[in-house]
Structure 1
């Protein structure tokens, strides 16, 4: 591989690595599993990078590869994913940005999201990343109408989980 290709990949990965970390956070429940999934997604991104044509934004393509890798590994392992305690998660932001109310709401949301299936998690993740339905449909490989329908169903499911 040429050096410019490798440099370009590393720069883009560094610029958008939080996308991969967020995907890992959704599909893993401990530090080691997070690191393993991060490494696997990075490998898959590198393998696919020479074929990236730029038809979509790099971040959209990265979401798609990351989510597909996580979902594939999850399905292969056929294991259940346990929820994790919110306080075990490390963030690169200062704690004073959150008050206890926000933390409690985030804990409830993450616990609810962990009860969703892998496709539903991906939808919620993209929705919370402020992706529009067109971007969600491109990333998930479904129609825009299907993305809207699925998201409405997931919202209803989350309301049921959060307000039994």
Structure 2
């Protein structure tokens, strides 16, 4: 295994929760989440040689994963690589109805709202969030407040 492959796999393992969170927000069922997870890993691997370390790797991963979640449609395709073992998506071991109600509400948001709330839930600071999304920090704050209110309404409905 090359050094690049080894480094890539370490980053995937380190940020696996980030990828899974995006999958959970953008897909309704376990099979679709697993498909999306695999597609995200593939897109990250394909883009990894172009990563230039100008931003944090987690920010770069967010951009790739969010774009993949937004633009992919469920297509049957077989992808094989020689990069070693990639972690399997974790399965939930307990039923958390509050969390599922939150995810259900988030799934009803539009794609840009989902992207913003995903970053917010992962405790990304507003400056970095604005940079990832490509909007001003002030615009982000306004949109984030609107999204939170929209989620409250959806959860309480």
Q: How does 1:1-164 map to 2 (within 5 A)?
A: 3-73=2-72, 90-91=91-92, 95=94, 103-164=96-157
Q: Tell me how far apart the structure 1 counterparts of residues 13 and 145 of structure 2 sit (CA, whole Å).
A: 33
Relative contact order, CA 8 A, sep 6+: which one is greater? 2
Moved over 4 A (4+): none
Q: Tell me how far apart the structure 2 counterparts of residues 42 and 153 of structure 1 sit (CA, whole Å).
A: 31
Structure 2: which 5+ runs fail to align? 76-89
Q: Tell me how far apart the structure 1 counterparts of residues 124 and 92 of structure 2 sit (CA, whole Å).
A: 22
Q: Tell me how far apart the structure 2 counterparts of residues 38 and 110 of structure 1 sit (CA, whole Å).
A: 17
Compute the displacement of 1:58 (Å).
0.9
When normalised by structure 1's length, the TM-score is: 0.77
Q: Tell me how far apart the structure 2 counterparts of residues 135 and 38 of structure 1 sit (CA, whole Å).
A: 23
Residue by residue over 1:64-111, the C-alpha shift from the partner in whole angstroms, topping out at 9 and shown as x without a partner, is: 11001101115x99xxxxxxxxxxx9336xx5xxxx9xx343232222
Structure 1: which 5+ runs fail to align? 78-88
RMSD: 2.3
Q: Tell me how far apart the structure 2 counterparts of residues 49 and 6 of structure 1 sit (CA, whole Å).
A: 10
Could you say what secondary structure the match of 1:53 adopts?
Answer: coil
When normalised by structure 2's length, the TM-score is: 0.80
Instruction: Tell which deviates more after alignment, 65-74 or 2-11.
Output: 2-11
Q: Tell me how far apart the structure 2 counterparts of residues 144 and 133 of structure 1 sit (CA, whole Å).
A: 6
Higher fraction of helix:
1
Between the two proteins, the alignment pairs up a number of residues equal to 143
